[in-house]
Amino acid sequence: MALAFGVYYYAPGLNLLEWIQKQILGEEQAVIFESNASPENLQIATWNLCNFGKSKNEEELEYIASQIKDFDIIGIQEVSTSAYGAKALAKLADALNRTGNRWDYELSDPTIGAGKERYAFLWRPKRAKKIGKGWILSEMESKFDREPFLGRFQNVQGESLLLINFHAVPSKKKPENEIVLLDQIHKKYVNDNLILMGDFNLSESHLAFDNLKAMGYRAGLYDQATTLKRKYGEGGVYLLNDHDNVFYERSAFLRKRCGVIDFVNDFPDLKSARQVSDHLPIWIEVEWKAQ
């Protein structure tokens, strides 16, 4: 039996106190993306593009560009370490440049740990300024299979943020053992305003995120599945796990809106959709708090 609180509904099985906090903070529901952010706010997206490189043809790259063209900054995971990864990223940037705005991009060095891949950032210079070159946290290679990729940005008012682009190990390799260490990045860059984003291969409700939450971080999405099944389930359900998310410092940022882009119904079947990716892109709009 669900309990009604005004226009909100609480379902048994959720932590009631946490549910109430989410409603008060406006952090419960994902919303549909609209490109109408205030000039000083940033709309940031993250997308695991599933072996991004040779596996994506020209049509798929054009489609990906059409889905992310209105964001200000995009973080990408699973870029191939082969030359095809770099070529695909350049083609994606070119496709974005043909949508009416100028785009820049940066490809990370290959990760050093046991898992080999690259990350990428793409951004619109009109809306976001990249500060210096991004870097892989190579000193943490023994702790992470795929060390995070970091990059500093500023909005049009010169307010800064440090983005942490991260892809945790798969569920069978216990991503919680990596996620529990993410608070060390906060401690290392305590003077920065941090946003962690990517594919955590773990739900935000897992205890592994408690260290981050204790430091004032909050998830952008709650109970929102972001990965695609291989086959439709009962009732045509095709979403599976809530693994992709964004964690932001509440002392530095207001979460204005957050959501997913569900592109599946643009395709005739799941197999075709999964050729683009087996993950939905997610996004957040943030506003800097007055310091």
CB 285 within 8 A of CB 248: no
Question: pLDDT tens across 190-249, in order?
Answer: 999 999 999 999 999 999 999 999 999 999 999 999 999 999 999 999 999 999 999 999
Could you state, in order of their start, the residue ranges of all structural domains in the chain?
Answer: 1-30, 40-288
CB 104 within 8 A of CB 115: no
Given a cut of 50, is residue 10 above it in pLDDT?
no
At 81, which helix (H) or strand (E)?
none
Q: How many CB atoms lie within 10 A of CB 2?
A: 7
Looking at domain 40-288, does it have CATH number 3.20.20.80? Answer: no
pLDDT for 31 equals: 54
38 compared with 256, residue with greater pLDDT: 256
Q: Is the pTM higher than 0.85? A: yes
Terminal CA-to-CA distance of the chain, rounded, Å?
44
